[in-house]
Every structure is written in structure tokens, then in C-alpha cells.
Amino acid sequence: MKNLRYLFIVGICLLLVSGVFLQPVVTLAAEDDAVDFLDDELYKSESDSVEVADPLEPFNRAMFKVNDFTYIWFFDPVATGYSHVVPSDIRVSFNNFFYNLQEPVRCLNALLQGRFSDAGTLLLRFVINSTGGVAGLGDPAGRELGFEAVDATLGETLGVWGIGDGFYLVVPFYGPTTLRDFTGDLVDGLALTPYYFWANGWEEKAGIYLFKELTKLSMHLGEYEDLKKISFDPYIALRNVYLQHRVQLRNSSFLFEEDHE
């Protein structure tokens, strides 16, 4: 019995890890704001595209290799198997459900950033999709009513408040980020996300997080491999894509706000 318990704990840990690494990477390819890896704009000179210092580059490169190896040999096969078992329509509904539950966190961050129109949009999306979308499984707010998805994170909030990025960081089993954004993601994703409040223990929280991230990853299979194929230095390419996409998200969010004032 004790051996079974140990095996269960180890299995949960491994599955939790399998849902973590590509969270920032699949975010680069979100359904409504996909990143085109073949777009020349994403591959400007390093001096133009890298806005954040990378003083830990030797460490970051080592962690990049660790993440790359574990993704190729473990994470991708798990997500591929999941995609073959669960139909895409059902996975999209699952993804919508988790995305909808995080709308209040985005709404709070939009308010803290002074983006009041975006905060109103996020609140409407949450109410509409939680009711008409059957607990968020659908997205009638965006598809039928035109209330587009809006991104607002604590990392952005801290930036608006004048807190710098710190430095670029590749976190083991998490991926590319910055010190400020990683801190914000921990608060947004773990401390404030409502569905973790319903879990009784860390095993349930791990299972919820695994299911959410595995579903997201299964919808973007092959995109990381495409990036590597067209890159002379995948580490630099991923760093530049991450930073460029972050700027795109920030600019699009504030343009969306201005259009609705």
C-alpha cells in the first residue's frame, strides 16, 4: 500500500511537470492572436528585439537544453497521446472553461492598470460565458457578441506601476520569462485563480493544473518544433519571440482600450 502511495505521488509530480514547461510557449500561439514563426518581424536584430538584459545566459542556455530534452522525450508524447484520445472540440471546450475562470483575475489586473474599458469587457465576458456559455465551455461573448478576449496579467500591472523586468530567465520546466513576469504568473496562476480554491489538497491542485496545461499544449502540437527548424540558434529565437510577442500583447491591449473609449 505504501509503495502504491509513493508511485501515485511520483506520477502526479511527473504529470504536473508535463503541464508546466510549454505554458509560455503555447501562449505565443493563442487561438485569437497566433504568432507566425515565419514572420520576419519576429526575427529582428538582437539589439532591436531584446529589451531585457540576459546576465544569466549560461544558466539560461543550460535550462533551455533541459527543457528542450524533456519536452521532446516526455511532454510532447504525452500531449500527442491526449490529443488522439480526446476530440479537438471537447478539448476546446475544456480550454474555454479554464480560460473563463481566470477572467476575474484579468479584470482585476485591468483595473489596477487603469484600463477600465477592458475591465468592463472582461467582466461582461465572464458573466455571459458563465451563463450563456454553459459554465464557460463556450465563448458566445466573443463569437456571437463581439467581446474579444483581452489579456491583462500581474506582470503587466507591475510594469505599469514602474517595476522593471529585472532580467530574462529560463525557468526549469516552465520556459522563457522575466523575473517580474514569473513572479506575476505565480500570483495570477496559483494564488488568485479561483478553481484552486475548490481543491482540498495539493494532489487535486496538481491534477487540475495538469489537465488545464495538457489541454492547452495539445492544441499547439508541432509549433515548438517549427520554431527550432527555422532557427540558427533556437535559444536566441525563442527569447526574441517571447519578448516580441509580449510587446505585441501589451500594445494590442492598450490599442483595444483606446478603441473602446
pLDDT digits (tens, 9 = 90+) for 163-213: 999 999 999 888 899 999 999 988 887 767 776 677 777 778 778 878 888
H or E element at residue 175: strand 175-178
47 pLDDT above the threshold of 70: no
Look at residue 1 in the predicted model and tell me its pLDDT.
Answer: 45
Residue whose entry in the numeric block shows the C-alpha cell 500583447? 249
Full residue range of the structural domain in which residue 14 is found: 2-259
Mean pLDDT, to the nearest integer, of 81-107?
A: 94
127 pLDDT above the threshold of 90: yes
Look at residue 74 in the predicted model and tell me its pLDDT.
Answer: 86
At 177, give phi and psi (nearest 5°): -165, -170
Look at residue 203 in the predicted model and tell me its pLDDT.
Answer: 79
Of the candidate ranges 27-31, 110-114, 126-130, 199-203, the one whose mean pLDDT is the lowest: 27-31
Say if residue 216 is exposed, middle or buried (CB neighbours under 10 Å; 0-12, 13-18, 19+): buried
C-alpha cell at 94: 475544456
Mean pLDDT, to the nearest integer, of 86-97?
A: 94
Of the candidate ranges 10-14, 106-110, 232-236, the one whose mean pLDDT is the lowest: 10-14
User: pLDDT above 90 covers what percent of the chain?
Assistant: 47
At 53, give phi and psi (nearest 5°): -65, 150
CB 208 within 8 A of CB 199: yes
Q: What is the pLDDT of residues 58-77, one digit of tens each?
A: 999 999 999 999 888 988 89
Residues across the chain: 261
- Better pLDDT: 106 or 257: 106
Q: Dihedral (C-alpha) 200, 70, 38, 54: value to the nearest 10 degrees?
A: 90
Say if residue 184 is exposed, middle or buried (CB neighbours under 10 Å; 0-12, 13-18, 19+): buried
Q: Is 229 left (phi over 0), alpha (psi -120 to 50) or beta?
A: alpha
CA dihedral (48, 49, 54, 60) positive or negative = negative
Question: What total number of domains does the chain contain?
Answer: 1
Give start and end residues of each alpha helix (H) in the chain.
Answer: 2-18, 23-27, 46-49, 57-70, 76-85, 88-101, 103-112, 116-131, 140-143, 154-160, 179-186, 202-218, 223-229, 234-259
Of the candidate ranges 15-19, 25-29, 201-205, the one whose mean pLDDT is the lowest: 15-19
37 pLDDT above the threshold of 50: no
Residues linked to residue 177 through DSSP beta bridges, in sequence order: 169
Q: Please give the DSSP secondary-structure letter assigned to residue 42.
A: G
Look at residue 39 in the predicted model and tell me its pLDDT.
Answer: 52
User: pLDDT above 70 covers what percent of the chain?
Assistant: 74
For residue 153, give the nearest of 18, 22, 245 by alpha carbon: 245
H or E element at residue 171: strand 168-171
Q: How far apart are CA 184 and CA 34, in angstroms?
A: 22
